[in-house]
Structure 1
Amino acid sequence: MEQTSRKLNPVKLMILVFVLLTAFFLVCKDILLQSGVDPYVMVAGNLILFIVGLFTIISGLKAIRNPNPHVFVRVYYAGFIIRLFVCALAAFIYIYLSKDGVSKPSLFACLGIYVLYSFIEVFSLKKALRENSNG
C-alpha cells in the first residue's frame, strides 16, 4: 500500500509538467523574448498539447483495462492522429493570424513540448500495460 502512494500517477505527472512549463514561460518571459521566443505562443502551445495529451493518456489508460487488445491499439493510434491534426490546425491558425510575425523558435520549442508530452504518454502507457499484463 505504501508503494502505490509513492508512484506518480500519469495524469498528475502531466499536470505537474504543464504547471512547471507554464510557470517557466511566464517567469522567464524577458529571457525568452530576447531569444526570439514568444512566451505567449509557448503558453498557448503548452495548453493545447496538455489538453490533447491528457485526453489521449486517459483514454489509453481506460483502453488498457479492456480485455480486447485491439481496443488499446485503436485508441492509441486514434490519439496519435488526433494529436497530429490538432497540432497542425493550431500551427496553421497561428501562422495565418500572425502573417509576417511568425516566431519560428516558438514553433520549434512547441515541437519540443510535443515530444516531451508524447514521451510521458508512451512511458506511462507502457508501464501501465506491463502492470496490467502482470496483474
Structure 2
Amino acid sequence: MKSKFQQLYIPLIVLFGLVNTICLLFKDALQLKQIDPMMVAGANTLLFLICTFSIRSQIKSANNTNPHAMVRGVMGSVVLKLFVLGTAAFIYLYNVGEAQSVNGIFVSMGLYIVYTWLEVKMAMQIKPTKKDGSN
C-alpha cells in the first residue's frame, strides 16, 4: 500500500511535469508572447519544492496532539511560499534589468495560485491518525 505522502504527491508530479513540458515544447511560442520559459520553469521548480516541503510538514502536523498544529502548518507554508517567491521575483527583476519578462511573472503568479489551490485540496485529504494507528 502506498504511503499517505506518495498518494498525495501524484498531482504535484503531474502539474510539475506538465508545466515543464509546456516550457520545453512551446519555448518559441512562449517567447513570441514575451514569456521567458526558463523563468517560468524556475518558478515552477521553486513552487514544486516548497509545496513538497509543505505537504510533508502538514502530514507530520496532522499527527500532532495539538489541534492548532495543522493550521500553523498550512499558514506557515503559505507565508514561506510568499516570502521565497517574493524574494525570487525581486532577485529576478534586479538581475535582468530591461530584459524582464512581465508576462512570465504573471504566469508564475498564476502557477502560485494553482499550487496553493492544489496544496489546500491535498491538505483537506490528510486525516490525522489516532494513537492506536487507526484512521
Q: Same fold (TM over 0.5)?
A: yes
Q: What's the offset of the Cα at 1:67? A: 2.2
Match of 1:10 in 2: 8
1:32-71 matched pairs, under 5 angstroms: 32-71=30-69
Task: Find the aligned partners of 1:114 and 1:96 in 2 and give their Cα distance.
Answer: 21
Pair 1:119 & 2:117 matched: yes
Moved over 2 A (4+): 131-135
In 1, Cα distance between the equivalents of 2:59 and 2:90? 30
| Deviation by residue 1:82-120 (Cα, 9 ceiling, x = unmatched) | 111000000000000011111110000000110111011
What amino acid sits opposite 1:90 in the alignment?
Answer: A
Instruction: Determine if contact 1:37/1:103 at 8 Å carries over to the other structure.
Output: yes
Q: 2:13 & 2:19 partners in 1: Cα distance? A: 10
Q: CA deviation at 1:59?
A: 0.7
Q: Is the 8 A contact 1:60 1:76 kept in 2?
A: yes
Give the number of aligned pairs: 130
Shift of 1:12: 2.0
Q: For residues 6-37 of structure 1, what are the alpha-carbon distances to aligned partners after superposition, in whole Å with 9 as ceiling and x for unaligned?
A: xx822122112101110111111011011111
TM-score by length of 2: 0.87
Q: Where do 5+ consecutive residues of structure 1 fail to align?
A: none
* Distance in structure 2 (CA, Å) of the matches to 1:111 and 1:9: 26
TM-score (norm 1): 0.87
Aligned-residue Cα RMSD (Å) equals 2.1
Which whole-Å deviations, capped at 9, do the CAs of 1:44-95 have from their partners, x for residues lacking one? 1101111111111111121112221111111111111111100000000000
> Which letter maps to 2:74?
Y
